[in-house]
Amino acid sequence: MTAMQIVFLLTAVVALFSAFRVVTTPNMVHAALWLIVTLSSVAVLYVLLSASFFAVVQIVVYVGAIAILMMFVVMLTRREMRDRGPQLGKQWPWAAVLAVLAFGGLTWLVRSAALPASPVGEVPATSVADLGAALVNPGGFVIPFEIASVLLLAALIGAVYVAWTRRNS
């Protein structure tokens, strides 16, 4: 067992425990904070995968923006803050069965496939620049890149339209 494997296992334990708390804790602000712990440990996993750009982006986008937005909404919807009672619906045993089945099936798939134990090569030092070049390359990902910008524009327009009503007294 190498040091990297120990780091991986520790991170995995933290990620899974906090993810479990996210889906079970009744207090929504606590759930958001546990979500932040999960997302940060996923960032550590990205570092272990030598995807440092994505580790940083994970923190910027998820912790810095999405989690903050969620906490805002939790604080906007006051009634839920007092709902310390059960937050799971009646259907939760079925959900648990389905989740266990999904996990079992996926694990069985992973175990039955022949997967490499180590990477085929090293990540080039210029991987971020390569990504940037590929994102604007007509033979690469320029269409997804521009469509992503249109998607985000549409999301903003839709979200502002839905949430914002001019105060008409």
Q: Which of the residues 77 through 136 are near another protein (CB under 8 A)?
A: 77-83, 87-89, 91-92, 94-96, 98-100, 102-103, 106-107, 110-111, 115-125, 127-136
The residue from 84, 139, 142, 168 that contacts another protein (CB under 8 A) is 142
d(CA 147, CA 150): 5
Residue 35, CB-side half-sphere exposure with 13 Å CA sphere: 21
d(CA 97, CA 77): 31
**Greatest Cα-to-Cα distance within the chain, rounded to the nearest angstrom:** 67
d(CA 156, CA 145): 17
Interface with another protein, residue 5, by CB under 8 A: yes
Interface with another protein, residue 45, by CB under 8 A: yes
Q: Which of the residues 8 through 37 are near another protein (CB under 8 A)?
A: 8, 12, 15-16, 19-20, 22-23, 28-33, 35-36
Look-up of token digits 């440990």: 41
Q: Which of the residues 46 through 75 are near another protein (CB under 8 A)?
A: 46-57, 59-75
